[in-house]
Amino acid sequence: MEVAEHNAEIGGVPVRWLAAGDAPVLYLHGVPNSGAMWRPFVERGGGIAPDLPGFGRSGKGGDFDYSIEGYSGFLEAFLDHLGLRRPSLVMHDWGAVGLAFAQRFPQRIRSLVLVAVVPFLPGYRWHRVARLWRRPGIGELAMGVTTRWGMRRQLPAEVVDDVWPHFDHGTQRAILRLYRSAPEQVLAPAGERLGELTCRALIAWGAHDPYLPDEFARRYADALGGETEVEVLDGGHWPWLDRPELVERVTRFIAGS
Sequential pLDDT tens for the chain (257 residues): 899 999 999 999 999 999 999 999 999 999 999 999 999 999 999 999 999 999 999 999 999 999 999 999 999 999 999 999 999 999 999 999 999 999 999 999 999 999 999 999 999 999 999 999 999 999 999 999 999 998 999 999 999 999 999 999 999 999 999 999 999 999 999 999 999 999 999 999 999 999 999 999 999 999 999 999 999 999 999 999 999 999 999 999 999 87
Does 118 map to a domain? Answer: yes
Do the domain assignments include residue 37?
yes
Q: Is residue 163 part of a domain?
A: no
Q: Do 188 and 68 contact (CB within 8 A), yes or no? A: no
Residue 131 in any domain: the answer is no
Q: What pTM was estimated for this model as a whole?
A: 0.97
**Nearest-10 Cα torsion for 98, 99, 104, 110:** 80
- CB-based contact 90:47 (threshold 8 Å): yes
- Tell me the CATH number at 33: 3.40.50.1820
| Count of the separate structural domains present in the chain | 1
Nearest to 47 by CA among 77, 70, 25, 75: 25
In a domain, 43, yes or no: yes
Determine, yes or no, domain membership for 98: yes
Residue 41 domain boundaries? 4-124+186-255
Residue 155 lies inside a defined structural domain of this protein:
no
**Any domain includes 142:** no
Which amino acid, residue 203?
I
As beta bridge partners, residue 206 has 233
Report helix, strand or coil for 56: coil
Which amino acid type is present at position 5?
A: E
